[in-house]
């Protein structure tokens, strides 16, 4: 019995799908041929795949041929024969079978192709991750915010963190604490290759070369960075060792001549910009050769090391010191405002050398000779300055006394200046100990009453040869050397002793003003003032301290603390030379000041100079606002007095009334000045 045509067709379709899915090549062709024969009930017939058709002839004489294709793709053809004839229905059946075969073959070949591609991709990925893990370099990726997205074996080895520990954390956790931040460094260094410091899991910090490249998605949008890191610590250390060998003296650890030259040139560029002076000191040890020759190299080396330590210890951090070779050293100073400061440093260095060197049981004495060259006067580059300082050092050696300790500037003018200053300094020390200092007193007048209300004590130096030397010629130097502190102590003492005499002589109490320089204004001052007043039995109202604006410039809070302690005693403070510095007005109101003193340079211009007049009257109104008294110094004319009076100034001091006077004359002036008043009272 013939099967039902539909179930027949389904059977054949299922067989065809099954064959395509399971069979390949010859077996598939045979099965397809068998199905075609069955569908068309033909004794002969086969399926010929497209790649095997080359040798075949055309269609058999009696039979059917049907191509198997899907759209443009030809897979093969069915050929059936062996029946007497084939109807149009047979032809239709074979066409349906071929169409089904074409679709199934097409779908199957697509599926196979993508499976194949997938397998290939998978193999490739496997490949690449193997390469990544096998390579020595550490490679990691991060997103745009620096969060780590992948981490290869090299990174595990380098940092000590496994991928599980690292992925998801921010890259910053690998930074050495000193590093600034990942963005900055990346941008600064142009986003390519850089040398960085990173930290391992065990805390060890190392140098790495880091190269970064952008990580993009398939649309070429940047989504992060790929980082390649290699440990270059070894190389860095080697470089540092080489650098150290090239630029440092192995014996003392100080910079050598090459580094000094570089650093000096750099510092000169800065000094030029900030209009500062610079100088180079060339130091040569005396008697070094003798010690080295007689006690041997070991002692010589130890001596040089100790000398280097001593030099370093008396210099400030920003000063340069280098060993040039042998027993020659050099020092660079770059923030000095006066060249004579360099000679002070030179003397400090020589003092450092003067203490005995205890080496190998020997008590060795070495001195030194120092030559100084100054930028910009002598030269503008390190080589020139070093050469000239060397020449100056030779001159210093020649001029030196038996011990050879000497300092010389390259410039003759500076040399003379230095010698002059040294003479003054020595002379002043001598003057302090030998009663050559004295005080003159310049009266201060109240404008309203016309009476003397006080005096300013002004120091003079009675020089055995030069006569009376004004303070302008020795106070600035005393300030620079620190001697001003001793001068100040003497002045306070002398002024109080004088006040005691006047008090005991029954003169009306006045305020004696003493000038106090910035260097004296320390926390020891209030105690010294208290003690001195007590010793002379004086009420604090006898004393006033004049301080200058420069005193107020540093460490305001400390200064205010000292001021408060002084005013708490009942001693008043006045601000000298007001207007010449630049006190901030906001600070001014915090200072416990009694009087503002208009500087002589403004008084001089009154009344012709409109600016000076404006400044003077502004100072007066500031003083009034802040409830301070105001005094004008240097008043020489009646016009000046008239202007000051009409502007509301309280007190005046100047040649119009009186020059600074010796004590006896001042006393007389005081008596005369008060006589009429007493006469008034008597009348």
Residues in the site for ligand C2E, rule: CB under 6 A?
A: 442, 458-459, 470-472, 475, 484, 488, 491, 515, 517, 546, 576-577, 600, 633-636, 653-655, 660
Token digits of residue 582: 């630049």
405 binds Mg ion (CB under 5 A): no
Select the binding partner of residue 517 from Mg ion, ligand C2E, none (C-beta < 5 to 8 A, by kind): ligand C2E
Q: How far apart are CA 279 and CA 25, in angstroms?
A: 97
Picked from Mg ion, ligand C2E, none, the partner binding residue 654 (CB below 5 to 8 A depending on kind) is ligand C2E
Output the smallest distance, CB 379 to ligand C2E, in A.
36
Q: In this complex, which beta carbon is closest to Mg ion, that of residue 139 or of residue 459?
A: 459
Contact assessment for residue 261 and residue 383, using Cβ atoms and an 8 Å cutoff: yes
**Does residue 544 touch Mg ion according to CB under 5 A?**
no
Shortest CB 597 distance to Mg ion, Å: 6
Q: How far apart are CA 659 and CA 442, in angstroms?
A: 6
Of 138, 256, 343, 515, which lies in the binding site for Mg ion, with binding defined by CB under 5 A? Answer: 515
Structure tokens of 628? 């301070």
- CA atoms within 13 A of residue 498's CA, in its CB half-sphere: 26
Residue 471's binding partner out of Mg ion, ligand C2E, none, with CB under 5 to 8 Å set by partner kind: ligand C2E
Near Mg ion in 555-594, by CB under 5 A: 576-577
Task: Give the binding range for Mg ion (CB under 5 A) out of 114-122, 244-252, 256-264, 510-518.
Answer: 510-518
Q: Which is nearer to ligand C2E, 270 or 468 (CB)?
A: 468
| Residue with token string 């084939």 | 86
Quick one: what does residue 459 bind among Mg ion, ligand C2E, none, with the CB cut-off 5 to 8 Å set by partner type? ligand C2E
How many other C-beta atoms can be found within 10 angstroms of the C-beta atom of residue 138? Answer: 21
| CB nearer to ligand C2E: pick between 353 and 483 | 483
What is the closest distance, in whole angstroms, from the C-beta atom of residue 550 to ligand C2E in the complex?
A: 10
Minimum distance, C-beta of residue 515 to Mg ion, in the bound complex (Å) = 4
Among residues 268 and 512, whose Cβ is nearest to ligand C2E? 512
Residue 655 interacting partner from ligand C2E, Mg ion, none (CB closer than 5 to 8 Å by kind): ligand C2E
Report the residue number, 328 or 594, with the smaller CB distance to ligand C2E. Answer: 594
Which of Mg ion, ligand C2E, none does 472 bind, CB closer than 5 to 8 A by kind?
A: ligand C2E
Interaction of residue 546 with Mg ion, rule CB under 5 A:
yes
Cα(277)–Cα(282) distance, rounded to whole angstroms?
17
Please identify, using beta-carbon distances, which residue of 331 and 641 lies nearer to ligand C2E: 641
| Per-state percent for the chain, helix, strand, coil, to nearest 5 | 50, 25, 25
Residues that contact Mg ion, how many (by CB under 5 A) = 4
Beta strands in 297-451 (DSSP E): 320-325, 328-336, 357-359, 362-364, 368-375, 406-409, 437-446
Pick one of Mg ion, ligand C2E, none as the site partner of residue 61 (Cβ within 5 to 8 A by kind).
Answer: none
Piece of 154-162, 180-188, 540-548, 555-563 that binds Mg ion (CB under 5 A):
540-548
Which residues are within 8 A (CB) of 321 and not within 5 positions of it... i.e. 6 or more apart? Answer: 254, 255, 308, 311, 312, 315, 329, 330, 331, 332
Residues 472/475/480/482 CA torsion (nearest 10 deg): 180
Minimum separation from the CB atom of position 631 to Mg ion (A): 10
Nearest to 421 by CA among 497, 496, 342: 342
CB 578 within 8 A of CB 588: no
Q: Please say which residue, 392 or 652, places its beta carbon nearer to ligand C2E.
A: 652
- Structural contact between residues 623 and 593, judged by C-beta atoms closer than 8 angstroms: no
* Secondary structure string (H, E, C) spanning 447-500: CCCCCEEEEEEEEEEEECCCEEECHHHCHHHHHHHCCHHHHHHHHHHHHHHHHH
Of 321 and 495, which has the nearer Cβ to ligand C2E? Answer: 495
3-state secondary structure of 443: strand
Query: For residue 400, which phi and psi values (nearest 5 degrees)?
Result: -60, 155
C-beta atoms surrounding 683 within 10 Å: 6
Shorter beta-carbon distance to Mg ion: residue 156 or 549: 549
Rounded to a whole number of angstroms, the minimum distance from the CB of residue 337 to Mg ion is 22
What residue ranges bind Mg ion (CB under 5 A)?
515, 546, 576-577
């Amino acid at each position: 019995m013939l099967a039902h045509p539909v179930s027949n067709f389904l059977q054949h379709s299922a067989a065809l799908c099954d064959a395509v899915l399971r069979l390949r090549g010859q077996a598939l062709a045979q099965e397809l041929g068998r199905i075609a024969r069955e569908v068309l009930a033909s004794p002969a017939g086969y399926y010929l795949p497209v790649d095997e058709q080359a040798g075949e002839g055309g269609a058999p004489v009696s039979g059917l041929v049907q191509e198997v294709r899907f759209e443009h793709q030809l897979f093969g053809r069915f050929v059936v024969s062996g029946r007497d004839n084939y109807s149009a229905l047979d032809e239709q059946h074979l066409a349906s079978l071929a169409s089904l075969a074409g679709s199934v073959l097409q779908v199957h070949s697509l599926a196979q192709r993508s499976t194949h591609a997938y397998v290939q991709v998978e193999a490739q990925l496997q490949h690449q991750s193997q390469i990544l893990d096998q390579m020595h370099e550490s490679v990691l990726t991060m997103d745009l915010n620096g969060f780590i997205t992948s981490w290869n074996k090299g990174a595990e080895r380098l940092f000590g963190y496994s991928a599980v520990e690292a992925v998801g954390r921010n890259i910053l956790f690998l930074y050495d604490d000193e590093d600034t931040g990942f963005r900055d460094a990346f941008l600064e260094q142009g986003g390519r290759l850089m040398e960085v410091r990173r930290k391992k899991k065990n805390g060890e910090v190392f140098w790495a070369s880091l190269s970064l490249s952008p990580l993009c998605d398939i649309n070429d949008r940047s989504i992060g960075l790929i980082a390649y890191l290699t440990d270059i610590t070894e190389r860095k250390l080697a470089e540092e060792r080489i650098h150290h060998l090239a630029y440092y003296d192995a014996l003392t650890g100080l910079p050598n001549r090459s580094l000094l030259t570089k650093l000096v040139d750099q510092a000169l560029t800065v000094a030029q910009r900030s209009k500062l002076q610079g100088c180079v000191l060339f130091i040569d040890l005396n008697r070094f050769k003798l010690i080295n020759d007689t006690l041997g190299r070991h002692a010589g080396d130890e001596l040089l090391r100790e000398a280097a330590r001593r030099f370093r210890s008396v210099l400030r951090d920003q000063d340069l010191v280098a060993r040039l070779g042998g027993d020659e050293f050099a020092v660079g100073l770059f923030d000095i405002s006066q060249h004579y400061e360099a000679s002070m440093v030179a003397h400090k260095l020589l003092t450092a050398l003067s203490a005995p060197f205890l080496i190998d049981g020997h008590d060795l004495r070495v001195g030194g000779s120092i030559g100084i060259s100054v930028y910009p006067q002598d030269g503008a580059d390190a080589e020139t300055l070093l050469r000239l300082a060397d020449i100056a050092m030779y001159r210093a050696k020649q001029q030196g006394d038996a011990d050879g300790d000497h300092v010389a500037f390259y410039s003759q003018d500076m040399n003379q200046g230095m010698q002059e200053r040294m003479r003054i300094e020595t002379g002043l020390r001598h003057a302090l100990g030998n009663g050559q200092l004295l005080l003159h007193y310049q009266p201060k007048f109240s404008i309203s009453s016309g009476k003397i209300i006080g005096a300013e004590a002004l120091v003079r130096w009675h020089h055995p040869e030069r006569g009376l030397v004004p303070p302008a010629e020795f106070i600035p130097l005393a300030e620079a050397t620190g001697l001003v502190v001793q001068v100040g102590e003497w002045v306070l003492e002398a002024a109080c002793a004088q006040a005691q005499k006047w008090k005991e002589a029954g003169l009306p109490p006045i305020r004696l003003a003493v000038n106090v320089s910035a260097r004296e204004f320390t926390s020891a001052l209030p105690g010294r003032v208290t003690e001195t007043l007590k010793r002379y039995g004086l009420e604090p109202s006898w004393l006033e301290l004049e301080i200058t604006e420069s005193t107020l410039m540093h460490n305001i809070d400390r200064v205010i603390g000292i001021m408060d302690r002084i005013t708490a005693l009942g001693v008043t403070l006045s601000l000298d030379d007001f207007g010449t510095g630049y006190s901030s007005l906001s600070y001014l109101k915090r200072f416990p000041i009694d009087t503002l003193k208009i500087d002589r340079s403004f008084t001089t211009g009154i009344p012709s100079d409109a600016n000076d007049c404006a400044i003077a009257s502004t100072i007066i109104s500031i003083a009034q606002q802040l409830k301070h008294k105001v005094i004008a110094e240097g008043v020489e004319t009646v016009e000046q007095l008239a202007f000051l009076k009409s502007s509301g100034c309280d007190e005046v001091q100047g040649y119009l009334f009186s020059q600074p006077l010796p004590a006896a004359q001042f006393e007389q002036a005081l008596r005369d000045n008060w006589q009429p008043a007493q006469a008034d009272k008597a009348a």
